[in-house]
Amino acid sequence: MSAVKHLTLEQFHKLEARSEGPRLEYWHGEAVPKSMPTWLHSALQRVLADMLEAAGYFAAVELELRIDPDWEPKPDVAAALFLEEPYPTRPVEIVAEVLSPDDEPARILAKCRNYHRIGIGQIYIFDPIKRTARVWDAVVDDLVSIDSMDFGNGRLTPVASIWAALDRKMRRSSSPLL
């Protein structure tokens, strides 16, 4: 069994620039591939970004967070009240991850813990197949089911409206192109 090579952040950025496969995240010296999104996964990313923008946030999908030099994730959706370009170097207010069939629960929990560690205030996990929505609760060190996304700016989005928007988007996207 060969040892895993520890990459510097500079080596990771060069590797990622040459990579033609799945997007990579930097996890404490390792290049970790992101799950390949399905159509449903990608559609939910768009729905969440649109809803976050409607709630008064700047929102982006697959945005690289350069907050911690040992951990550079690319959350499925990130949202902030203030736009920092080209990459956020300070914690954004919200991240949302959309589960893919091959996501490992232990990796998702580790990701939530890392988001919390770097100062992300609200961390949401959505499962588009099971239609579940959860938020990271640092007090219990686990994910907790929710019925609405209660944002730090006082806005609220019911989870049912997210699933309804996803259903509308999937019906539109499933029609044949003319």
Average pLDDT in the 94-119 region?
Answer: 95
Block residue for tokens 């996803």: 166
- 178 within a domain of the structure (yes/no): no
pLDDT per position as a tens digit, 24-57: 999 999 999 888 888 999 999 999 999 999 999 9
- 8 within a domain of the structure (yes/no): no
The whole-model pTM stands at 0.90
Total domains in the chain come to 1
What does the pLDDT read at residue 13? 87
| Band of pLDDT at residue 18, cut at 50, 70 and 90 | confident
- 9 within a domain of the structure (yes/no): no
- 28 within a domain of the structure (yes/no): no
What does the pLDDT read at residue 157? 96
Q: Is the predicted pLDDT of residue 108 greater than 70, yes or no?
A: yes
Domain that holds residue 150: 36-173
Q: Is the predicted pLDDT of residue 4 greater than 80, yes or no?
A: no
What does the pLDDT read at residue 172? 62
What does the pLDDT read at residue 177? 46
What does the pLDDT read at residue 15? 87
CATH number for the domain harbouring residue 156: 3.90.1570.10
**Percent of the chain predicted with pLDDT > 70:** 94
- 111 within a domain of the structure (yes/no): yes
